Amino acid sequence: MNMMRTAILLAAMTALFVLVGGLLGGQSGMLLALIFAVGTNVFAWWNSDRLALSAAGAQEVDVNSAPDLVRLVAELAGRAGLPMPRVYVIESDQPNAFATGRDPEHAAVAVNTGLLQMLNRDELAGVLAHELAHIKHRDTLTMTITATLAGAISSIAQWGMFFGGRRENNGVGMLGSIAVAILAPIAAMVVQMAISRSREYEADRGGAEISGSPLGLANALRKISGAAEQIPNEAAEAHPAMAHLFIVNPLSGSGMDNLFSTHPNVENRVAALQELAARMGQTRGGGNPGGGSFLGGTGVASGPWTGKPDEPRGGPWG
């Protein structure tokens, strides 16, 4: 059902793209919009991981520079039956994480340094497993293409307003193009947010099954959602179209599952995970909610991914 809903929503996004082109430029505009939509999808398919990681300022780490983190990702990827993804670290105090890549063979997981400071091992495993579930379900490609199309719809609508939606091409004229420029991005955002929210619940369930600890993930969501509202994420603020890639909204909190929220409400996600834990026979308190961080409370070292031999090994990466 989730896959069918996502396919329908993606089709709606593409149709909206073509409709906007038709309204602004008639049949020729519709054809150009369709060609542009196909080209945009192909570009996003091939470059999604590189674009997202570059925008976030992520730096790749390996077993030498971040042994504990990389080994935990490898362990969870093995449980999920996935190839080992590349692992990245983002220098940001906001606790957050995301996955990207066009398929499981070309995937990457990126975590903020703030996440490693805040969570213990069970909680971090839940977050990483959530991201691996996105990779397994191929959500990373879906959400990246959706974000690219949403941005393209906004751009083409603005161009149409600038050129006045020519009536000689059966366009809607200046007033109509202004209306399209306002309404089309809103419609695109609604579709984008709906796709993102539908995938988050499924990734929570899949991540809980991979890590074996629904309550560990629930505890992590509680911790990082509150902190994310208080600590800015400069990369996400500069590139808001990528906000839906993160495990919690990096821009602002949202109090309910409304049309304009990038993520489901955290309490709703926690409740679903607690219900799953009960079905798995787990009791409350899983994930050691007060048990220190994955880093053992040592804090973040300067440049931990350099792997220089004179740096202390008691730092954040093990």
Distances (CA, A) of 20 to 171, 193, 272: 10, 19, 38
pTM of structure:
0.73
pLDDT of residue 51: 80
Task: Report yes or no: 125 and 80 within 8 Å, Cβ to Cβ.
Answer: no
**Looking at the annotation, which residues are catalytic?**
131
Parallel, antiparallel or unpaired: strands 86-90 and 97-101: unpaired
129 φ, ψ (degrees, to nearest 5): -65, -35
pLDDT of residue 304: 37
pLDDT of residue 285: 52
pLDDT of residue 186: 67
H or E segment at 236? helix 234-238
Domain boundaries of the chain, sorted by first residue: 2-296
The Cα–Cα gap between 128 and 134 comes to: 10
Those residues of the chain that have pLDDT short of 50 are: 1, 163-171, 253-260, 286-290, 297-318
The DSSP output letter for 283 is: P
Q: What six digits make up the tokens of 116? A: 């490693």
At 198, is the secondary structure helix, strand, or coil? Answer: helix
